[in-house]
A = this chain, B = another copy of it.
């Protein structure tokens, strides 16, 4: 099958962007090109909301330069979507006509409802959140939605965005009075939507301003993980960034780590929007979504094309993507999962380890990905496994969950575990850390039982003795390598369950 490429051009009030996605063999959308142009179309809007000819020319020039990039790819589809800057222009028909004439491109001018809907769609396609409020601050509009059970319940588009809100300030750094006025205005605006008030759900922030907020915070905190998607912040974190930025001299603002130059003048009003909305809904926390409008448009397009669900099981699909991308052996995985279940049940039933549903889920997920770092280098594969899982975006997993998965799937021994967990120690209680160690030990042991990946173990049974546990391993044939490995690694399991383990390997011929 040939790879399929899709292009999306996104015409925003502040930025225009061309993104080309490749649909990989595992149906993942991989960005292979991302070209940004700072258009600031909004500044070409006349007082009567006409986009003047200079603005139209700029828009068309940018589209033309994007087309030259497009020409170097074989594309399945090209979608060109425009938001508030064009939608709000009174001469939008004229703009459309000029664009078609001069570039041949058909643009879709998204309605307010559509713009909000695609943001929501991107979120349910790239996170596991069941309920939440999304917010996407554009240059000239701000979309909010509320979803429950992953379904869209309410949505609204406010006619203000980061670019228009900066008019509340005379200079790039606002005075206290200016800030107060802006906050007052925002609070009133949000109060017009009763479904926002005291929702007590997560606030999911979409778009460039949100990304910049998260990046600045990660830099301030020397955050040890890579990746922004599903990064979590609390009110105190938003206040920290806001106080930091408003305390700077104007000349220092553009140099803040994590802040893109062309957002320096709009980041402060944007943060106020997040903060006021956070307070209005009494949010549990703010979660960043790296996927937004563009992705939502594409998801819908692909779902139509392939007749697939608009509400996928995101996490499950992410795990399957990893299995594909890192060439993992599915037979081996299923076999290890089966053995792991048996050991898990035995330990749980006999109270050897305190285990619950969540542990079972985590263990299952980790058993899909155990030792996937081998793909990079067979040397130091536990370290590569930990690095990849902790630092790669896994749609549907928040960062803390990613680290848990990484710790269990990379388990080698206690020392290495402690090394890996070191920078994240404060993220987990002592009991949680011990649990992760135990789950890793258990998985490492069952993994050894298929050391040669030929599913030689037929079944296992357990006998709880006074002083130890006898595990009988019935194999289809001589399983010397498995026995060697299991004997060597059983010490981790012994520590986890606090009992000695006696192994007895029984080959078919002896049965």
Contact = CB atoms under 8 A, between A and B. Distances in A.
Interface of A: 18, 30-31, 33-38, 61-62, 64-66, 68-69, 72, 219, 226-229, 257, 261, 290, 376-380, 383-384, 387-388, 391-393, 415, 451-454, 456, 477-481, 484, 488
Nearest to A30: B378
Contacts of A477: 68
A477 B92 CA distance: 29
A228 B380 CA distance: 9
B380 A226 contact: yes
A481 B35 contact: yes
Given A31-B378, A377-B392, A478-B68, A484 B36 contact: yes
Given A393-B377, A478-B64, A452 B484 contact: no
A229 B480 contact: no
Contacts of A379: 226-229, 290, 393
A36 B37 CA distance: 57
22 contacts: A18-B481, A30-B378, A35-B452, A35-B481, A37-B484, A61-B478, A65-B481, A68-B478, A69-B454, A69-B481, A72-B454, A226-B383, A227-B380, A229-B379, A376-B388, A377-B392, A379-B393, A380-B391, A383-B391, A384-B391, A384-B392, A387-B387
Q: Number of copies of this chain in the oligomer?
A: 2
Contacts of A64: 478
A65 B290 contact: no
A229 B415 CA distance: 22
Contacts of A72: 452-454
Contact of A488 (B261, B376, B488): B261
A33 B378 CA distance: 10
A387 B229 CA distance: 20
Nearest to A479: B65
A432 to B, nearest CB: 24
B228 A378 contact: no
A61 B480 contact: yes
A367 to B, nearest CB: 20
B35 A451 contact: yes
A480 B378 contact: no
A384 B480 contact: no
A33 B452 contact: yes
Contacts of A257: 415
Contacts of A456: 68
Nearest to A72: B454
A480 B376 contact: no
A229 B481 CA distance: 25
A20 to B, nearest CB: 10
A374 B164 CA distance: 35
A34 B381 CA distance: 13
Given A31-B378, A387-B387, A391-B383, A62 B261 contact: no
Contacts of A488: 261
Nearest to A260: B488
A69 B452 contact: yes
A36 B481 CA distance: 7
A257 B452 CA distance: 25
A142 B391 CA distance: 43
A28 to B, nearest CB: 11
Given A35-B452, A226-B380, A378-B30, A480 B391 contact: no
A261 B480 CA distance: 18
Contact of A377 (B68, B227, B484): B227
